[in-house]
């Protein structure tokens, strides 16, 4: 994964939520991930369940096991049957009668390298799950889904990067609903995502970004390139660089541009990348989202290339 000049890492973000729908399977998701072999993986709409006999289903743990990464995984719930029960959500009602103690949906991180403490990379640690949006009342609908971010740090010398996985809000009607787009709903959704991006930035700006740390931000932002939550908040305000895929196609069949993204804050280092959206029959059968993958090379600020070419985040096709 490294040489004297650069550390090479494969990043991947993947919304696997469609595995709960007919025609999709978690085994398909596992096969896609195993084939791509990411070093760092952010998952959206990951599920954990526990039944009345205390038997667990943990998707993030299963992915880490398939990759051979042991216990280097973390799941952060955004929605919980136990905490957010409402009769309006069919999965909760079904779970009640099918014998589930709890059913949780959220974000997860899986890493080749162990997690360390956010503030002290010399000690083992675990990521944290932080809220970005909490409705006054959860109604079991997309419009009232709580949103969160998971943040962790990994034991990868010499820069010990930070990882953020997240999934921003989308509202019914902002794109199409019963054949039309509601412009007021679309504006509300843009404002909600802007606020969520700003809350994320508030967590990391002073302690990480202003200090030149390397941060990988991966997720389903439900925002196309150029939307304010990315261009104004994360890119301009946070100095993140969105990795532009070689094939900038949709990552969801109902949206004309990609909404799943990898962003990198290079800090005091030079980072070069190649990014692409994986689109094949296996991916289309596994989930309604396509995975986004990036191979990056992180150069130490003392490396010859960084000193000659300067710091920043650059596509390998653009010097």
Instruction: Delimit the domains of the chain by residue range.
Output: 6-315
* Whole-number pLDDT of residue 38: 98
Specify whether the CB–CB gap between 105 and 164 falls below 8 A. Answer: no
Check whether 319 has a pLDDT greater than 50.
no
Specify whether the CB–CB gap between 72 and 126 falls below 8 A. Answer: no
Check whether 1 has a pLDDT greater than 80.
no
**Which tokens is 116 given?**
């360390």
Q: How far is CA 248 from CA 1, 62, 104, 216, 319, in A?
A: 27, 30, 32, 20, 20
* Whole-number pLDDT of residue 91: 86
Sign of the CA dihedral running 128, 264, 62, 104: positive
Residue 243: how many other CB atoms lie within 10 Å? 23
Specify whether the CB–CB gap between 249 and 279 falls below 8 A. Answer: yes
Tell me the percentage of the chain whose pLDDT exceeds 70.
95
With 0-12 / 13-18 / 19 or more C-beta atoms within 10 angstroms meaning exposed / middle / buried, residue 240 is buried
Check whether 180 has a pLDDT greater than 80.
no
pLDDT tens for 280-315 read 999 999 999 999 999 999 998 777 887 788 889 999
- What value does the mean pLDDT take over residues 99-121? 96
Rounded distance between C-alpha atoms, residue 286 and residue 288, angstroms: 7
Residue 231: how many other CB atoms lie within 10 Å? 14
Q: Which CATH superfamily is domain 6-315 in?
A: Endonuclease/exonuclease/phosphatase (3.60.10.10)
With 0-12 / 13-18 / 19 or more C-beta atoms within 10 angstroms meaning exposed / middle / buried, residue 50 is middle
pLDDT tens for 236-272 read 999 999 999 999 999 998 898 999 999 999 998 999 9
* Mean pLDDT for the chain overall: 93
* Whole-number pLDDT of residue 5: 79
């Amino acid at each position: 994964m490294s040489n004297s000049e650069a550390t090479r890492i494969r990043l991947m973000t993947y919304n696997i939520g469609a595995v709960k729908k007919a025609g999709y399977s978690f085994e398909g998701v596992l096969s896609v991930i195993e084939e791509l072999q990411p070093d760092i993986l952010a998952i959206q709409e990951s599920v954990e369940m526990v039944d009345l006999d205390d038997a667990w289903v943990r998707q993030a743990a299963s992915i880490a096991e398939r990759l051979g990464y042991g216990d280097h995984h973390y799941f952060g719930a955004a929605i919980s049957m136990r905490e957010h029960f409402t009769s309006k959500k069919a999965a909760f009602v079904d779970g009640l009668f099918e014998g589930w103690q709890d059913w949780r949906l959220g974000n997860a991180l899986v890493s080749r390298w162990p997690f360390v403490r956010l503030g002290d990379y010399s000690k083992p640690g675990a990521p944290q799950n932080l809220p970005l949006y909490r409705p006054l009342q959860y109604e079991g609908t997309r419009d009232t889904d709580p949103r969160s971010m998971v943040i962790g740090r990994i034991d990868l010398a010499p820069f010990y990067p930070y990882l953020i996985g997240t999934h921003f809000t989308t509202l019914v009607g902002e794109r199409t609903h019963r054949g039309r787009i509601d412009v007021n709903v679309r504006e509300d959704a843009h404002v909600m995502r802007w606020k969520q991006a700003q809350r994320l930035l508030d967590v990391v700006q002073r302690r990480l970004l202003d200090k030149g740390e390397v941060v990988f931000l991966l997720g389903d932002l439900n925002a196309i390139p150029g939307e304010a939550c990315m261009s104004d908040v994360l890119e301009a305000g946070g100095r993140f660089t969105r990795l532009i895929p070689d094939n900038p196609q949709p990552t969801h069949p109902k949206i004309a541009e990609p909404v799943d993204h990898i962003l990198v804050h290079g800090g005091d280092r030079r980072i070069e990348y190649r990014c692409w959206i994986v689109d094949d029959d296996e991916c289309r059968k596994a989930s309604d989202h396509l995975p986004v993958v990036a191979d990056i090379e992180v150069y130490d600020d003392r490396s010859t290339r960084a000193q000659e070419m300067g710091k920043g985040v650059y596509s390998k096709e653009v010097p």
